[in-house]
Chains A and B, each alone.
Chain A
Amino acid sequence: MAPELATRQRSAPPPVGLLRPYLGSFAAVVVLQVIGSVAGLAPLLAVAELGRALLSPGPLDHGHVRIVVIAGAAGLLVRLVFTAASSGIGHLLDDRVQLAFRRRLAERLGRVPIGWFSRRRTGELAKVVGDDVSAVHPFVAHAPGELVAAFVVPLVSLLYLFAVDWRLTLITLVPVVLAVALVPLMMTPARLREQKAFDAAMGRVANTVVEFVRGIAVVKAFGTGERAHRRFVTAVDEFVAVFFRWVRGMSVIAAGMQLALSPPFVLLAVLAGGAALITSGDLPPADLLPFLLLGLGLTAPVAALGHGFDDMQAARRAVGRIKEVLAVPPLPEPVHPAGPRGHRVELRDVRFGYEAGREVLRGIDLVLEPGTVTAVVGPSGSGKSTLVQLLPRFYDPTGGSVTLGGVDLREIGSRDLYRMVSFVFQDVRLLRASVMDNIALAVPHAGFNDVVRAARLADIHDRIAELPRGYDTVIGEEAGLSGGEAQRISIARALLADAPVLVLDEATAFADPRTEQAVRRALATLKDDRTILVIAHRLETIADADTIVMLDDGVIVERGSPAELLARDGEFAAFSRTYRSATALQRGGEPR
Chain B
Amino acid sequence: MIRMLMRVLGPEYAGPVRRTVALMTVTAMVEGLSYGLLVPVLRALFGGDPGGARPWLVAFGAAVAVYAVLRYLSDLSGMRGATVLLRGMFHRLGDHLARLPIGWYGGARVGEVSVLASRGVLEAMGVLAHLLGPYVSACVTPLTIVVVMLGFDWRLGLAALAAAPVVAAIQVWTGRSMAASDAERHERGHEATGRVIEYLQAQPVLRAGGRTGERFRLLDDSLRELQRASRRTVLSALPGVLGLTLTVQAVFTALLALGAYLALGGDIGAAELLAILVLAARCADPLLSLSDLGGKLRAARAELGRLDAVLSTEPLPEASDPVRPAHHGLEFDSVTFRQDGRTVIDDLFLSVPEGQRLAVVGPSGAGKSTLLQLIARFHDVDGGAVRVGGADVRDVGTEVLTSRIAIVFQDVYLFDGTIEENVRLGRPDAGEAELRAAATAARLDEVIERLPGGWAAKVGEGGALLSGGERQRVSIARALLKDAPIVLLDEVTSALDPVNEAAVHEGVERLMAGRTVVMVAHRLRTVQRADRVVFLDGGRIVEEGGHDELLRRGGRYAGFWHGSTAPDIRWRRGRRAG
Partners in one complex: yes
Which residues in B have their C-beta under 8 angstroms from that of A516?
Answer: 563-564
Instruction: Please measure, in the bound complex, the distance between the C-alpha atom of A99 and the C-alpha atom of B522, giving whole angstroms.
Output: 46
On whether the beta carbons of A72 and B220 are closer than 8 Å, the reply is no
Which residues in B have their C-beta under 8 angstroms from that of A88?
Answer: 234, 238
12 other A-B residue contacts (CB within 8 Å) besides A207-B416, A213-B105, A221-B407: A95-B231, A236-B91, A239-B86, A259-B71, A262-B31, A268-B64, A285-B50, A288-B42, A414-B207, A418-B207, A544-B567, A563-B577
A126, A379, A425, A443, most chain B CB atoms within 10 A: A126
In B477-519, which residues have CB < 8 Å from any A CB?
A: 478, 482, 493-502, 505-506
On whether the beta carbons of B502 and A285 are closer than 8 Å, the reply is no
On whether the beta carbons of A271 and B202 are closer than 8 Å, the reply is no
> Given contacts A205-B118, A267-B38, A275-B50, are A80 and B208 in contact (CB under 8 A)?
no
> Given contacts A62-B264, A271-B41, A588-B525, are A134 and B60 in contact (CB under 8 A)?
no
**Minimum C-beta distance from A154 to chain B (A):** 14
Of chain A, the residue at the smallest CB distance from B109 is A213
On whether the beta carbons of B35 and A264 are closer than 8 Å, the reply is yes
Instruction: Please measure, in the bound complex, the distance between the C-alpha atom of A347 and the C-alpha atom of B389, giving whole angstroms.
Output: 62
Of chain B, the residue at the smallest CB distance from A62 is B264
Total contacting residues, chain B, CB less than 8 A: 163
**Minimum C-beta distance from A112 to chain B (A):** 9
Which residues in A have their C-beta under 8 angstroms from that of B259?
Answer: 50
> Given contacts A107-B214, A433-B218, are A224 and B197 in contact (CB under 8 A)?
no
A353 proximal to B (CB < 8 A): no
> Given contacts A60-B264, A219-B98, A517-B563, are A211 and B416 in contact (CB under 8 A)?
yes
On whether the beta carbons of B227 and A98 are closer than 8 Å, the reply is yes
B67 proximal to A (CB < 8 A): yes
0/1 interface trace, chain A 571-591, chain B, CB 8 Å (1 if under): 000000011011101111000
Question: How many A-B pairs with Cβ below 8 Å?
Answer: 448
Contact check: which of B234, B416, B428, B522 meets A512 at CB < 8 Å?
B522
Instruction: Please measure, in the bound complex, the distance between the C-alpha atom of A142 and the C-alpha atom of B482, giving whole angstroms.
Output: 58
In A140-163, which residues have CB < 8 Å from any B CB?
A: none
Instruction: Please measure, in the bound complex, the distance between the C-alpha atom of A87 and the C-alpha atom of B288, giving whole angstroms.
Output: 14
Of chain A, the residue at the smallest CB distance from B376 is A221
**Minimum C-beta distance from A84 to chain B (A):** 5
Contact check: which of A62, A217, A236 meets B90 at CB < 8 Å?
A236
Which residues in B have their C-beta under 8 angstroms from that of A433?
Answer: 218
A397 proximal to B (CB < 8 A): no
B318 proximal to A (CB < 8 A): no
A415 proximal to B (CB < 8 A): yes
Q: List 23 A-B contacts (CB under 8 A).
A: A47-B256, A51-B46, A66-B260, A69-B256, A96-B227, A103-B220, A123-B111, A211-B415, A212-B94, A229-B97, A262-B31, A262-B67, A268-B64, A271-B41, A275-B53, A292-B278, A431-B202, A431-B218, A442-B208, A443-B209, A540-B568, A543-B575, A587-B528
CB-based closest 5 A-B pairs: A110-B212, A223-B402, A582-B502, A563-B578, A107-B213
Contact check: which of A209, A267, A431, A512 meets B363 at CB < 8 Å?
A512
On whether the beta carbons of B98 and A216 are closer than 8 Å, the reply is yes
On whether the beta carbons of A268 and B61 are closer than 8 Å, the reply is yes
Contact check: which of A211, A221, A265 meets B402 at CB < 8 Å?
A221
- Among B72-80, B147-155, B166-174, the one that faces the other chain is B72-80
B274 proximal to A (CB < 8 A): yes
B425 proximal to A (CB < 8 A): yes
A539 proximal to B (CB < 8 A): yes
On whether the beta carbons of B567 and A210 are closer than 8 Å, the reply is no
In B513-567, which residues have CB < 8 Å from any A CB?
A: 522-526, 528-529, 560, 563-564, 567
Which residues in B have their C-beta under 8 angstroms from that of A130?
Answer: 189, 192-193, 196
> Given contacts A255-B72, A512-B363, A583-B525, are A543 and B210 in contact (CB under 8 A)?
no
> Given contacts A255-B72, A262-B71, are A538 and B118 in contact (CB under 8 A)?
no
A76 proximal to B (CB < 8 A): yes
> Given contacts A220-B402, A275-B53, A380-B497, are A109 and B200 in contact (CB under 8 A)?
yes
0/1 interface trace, chain B 43-57, chain A, CB 8 Å (1 if under): 001101011011001
**Minimum C-beta distance from A210 to chain B (A):** 5
B453 proximal to A (CB < 8 A): no
